[in-house]
Amino acid sequence: MTHLKSNLILEGDCIERLQGLPAGSVYLIFADPPYNLQLGGELLRPNNTRVDGVDEAWDRFGDQAIPADSFAVYDRFTRAWLTAARRALKDDGSLWVIGSYHNIYRVGAILQDLGFWILNDVVWTKTNPMPNFRGTRFTNAHETLLWCAKGPAARYTFNYEAMKSLNEGLQMRSDWMLPLCTGGERLKSDGHKTHPTQKPESLLYRIILASSNPGEVVLDPFFGTGTTGAVAKKLGRRWIGIERDAGYIAAAQARIAAIPEAADLSLVTTINKRSEPRIPFGTVVERGYLAPGDLLYDGERRRWSAKVRADGSLISEHHRGSIHQVGAAVQGAPACNGWTFWHFEQDGQLQVIDLLRQKIRAELH
């Protein structure tokens, strides 16, 4: 198999460069393609100062005065780079594409035409959006990300526990409230934005942490000023950027070179609970952390209680079985996670029994 060089920027056309990569060599692709904004004239603030928006040539497709022509050219471009990206992506890899209402629906349809399987559409709600200065529409305060696998049966990476921990123990939702790239994070040249659509590192942090593991290759075919590479380096991932603008490349190289390598990969590695050794409740009893006859409670209200049996089962007033079965039965519920439902008393305080399972797991490492 051809060795894939990484931690570098490939200069040139994204389609040609993608086609030059070994097939099935990349674990994760994040793409922030041109939006084909169809802007008509410059945009002014109420004080008549010009808004520093997107007016670069790379965002124009076809005849901007004829929308049908512009859309047709943009669609051909989109189909070409997505086809090349699909070839470079591993079968168990995944692809993220970000866009606005100008292009994301066209991109989504082409993704499905090419066989990609959309896993989520994530709405990035900007906490500090640019106002609609003309007052003719609602303030455009969000962008949409499409997260895709190569097909419906693909075994893609999703670090669920990492996303849950990042969200203070709650399952992360598909609406993300994050600020625009501003302040010291925003790269500038001669007092102006180096890149008009630089994405915040917090956005890429979630994507890379959720969809890849340390050492895997993350590819960005529209690298710009290197946000994807910067975050990938911080999280111990390998990275490849594709960019055709020499100015953006220089800015990205300087930015990423200033970031130290992740020194301890264990700190950026997600612990998957499903891969941890299975600990039966009986092991807690065998190890002497709980004894036969000890009482367990559902919580501080102590509505229900059950006694621990020597064989690792529980017995309540009317029920007998595993920690899960008895927990479900006393509540009249179809199912129950007994590890988080039942509590034991320690020094006058109730503690969830899952703490004892985690203690045993720590002893096994």
Residue 325 tokens read as 């079965």
Give pLDDT, residue 365: 63
User: What is the rounded average pLDDT of the residues 151-168?
Assistant: 93
pLDDT at 58: 54
Chain segment 96-112, per-residue pLDDT in tens: 999 999 899 999 999 99
Distances (CA, A) of 208 to 6, 46, 94, 109, 149: 16, 39, 11, 24, 15
> Residue type for 117, please?
W
CA dihedral 341, 342, 346, 348 (to 10 degrees): 80
Query: pLDDT averaged over the chain?
Result: 89
Strands 217-220 and 238-243: parallel
**Locate tokens 């890849």: which residue?**
212
Sign, CA dihedral 40-41-46-51, equals: positive
Q: What is the CA radius of gyration of the chain?
A: 26
Instruction: Using the predicted structure, report yes or no on whether residue 156 has a pLDDT greater than 50.
Output: yes
Decide if pLDDT at 1 tops 50.
no
Residues 38-90 have pLDDT tens digits of 655 554 444 544 445 556 665 566 666 677 788 898 999 999 999 999 999 99
Residue 273 is predicted with a pLDDT of: 63
Contacts of 138 (CB under 8 A, 6+ apart): 132
Residues of 208-246 as b/e, b for ≥16 C-beta within 10 angstroms? bbbbbbbebbbbbbbbbbbbbbbbbbbbbbbbbbbbbbe
Evaluate if residue 32 carries a pLDDT over 90. Answer: yes
151 Cβ partners below 8 Å, 6+ apart?
A: 115, 116, 117
The whole-angstrom distance between residue 296's C-alpha and the CA centroid of its chain comes to 38
Q: Copy the structure tokens of residue 309.
A: 């049996």
